[in-house]
Amino acid sequence: MPTYTVKYSNIKLTQKQKNSIANDITNIHSKYTGANTFFAQVIFQKNEKNSHFMGGKLVKTKEIFLNGQIRAGRTSKIKKNLILGLKKILVKNTKLRGDFIWVYLEDLLSDQMIEYGEVLPKSGNEKKWFNSLTPNLRKRLKKIEKRK
């Protein structure tokens, strides 16, 4: 499951902004990777006041850091499109300039990840993996899956 953690300092994100960012991240991840939307999760973490430093100095500007952990196996082109799309999402939803936005992607090997109690498939093998799940889990995931 790609896990996108949005950490932010000196800015208040409304629930509407969080909903929009989470929805947009889910959609862009699915668009560029082809993975089902039920794989994507987005977690928001507001940094405590006076707890974010750069160069040893307290950060007083509004900053957003998005760390995405995704399954390895995607091409450089896919990851470049994904990372640029993620930056665009944050700019659109926060109105911050791009130089206040940080986006990192980390590749994780699929056989070193368990989600929904099952070891994940390699990229591109999602359908076979899905069909091997129990009927109850397939039903649960279908409810999570966003219609395209």
Mean pLDDT by 10 residues, the chain (148 residues): 94 97 96 89 96 96 96 92 97 96 94 88 86 93 77
Q: How many domains does the chain have?
A: 1
Q: Which structural domain, as residue segments, surrounds residue 109?
A: 3-144
What pLDDT is stored for residue 16 in this prediction? 98
Q: How far apart are CA 63 and CA 90, in angstroms?
A: 11
Task: Identify the CATH number of the domain in which residue 106 sits.
Answer: 3.30.429.10
What pLDDT is stored for residue 79 in this prediction? 95
What pLDDT is stored for residue 146 in this prediction? 67
Tokens of 32: 């560029």
Q: How far apart are CA 115 and CA 103, in angstroms?
A: 23
| Concatenated DSSP letters of 4-39 | EEEEEES----HHHHHHHHHHHHHHHHHHH---GGG
Q: How far is CA 50 from CA 43, 54, 56, 63, 106, in A?
A: 21, 12, 12, 13, 27
Angle between helix 15-33 and helix 76-94 axes, rounded to 10 deg: 160
Tokens of 22: 């989470």
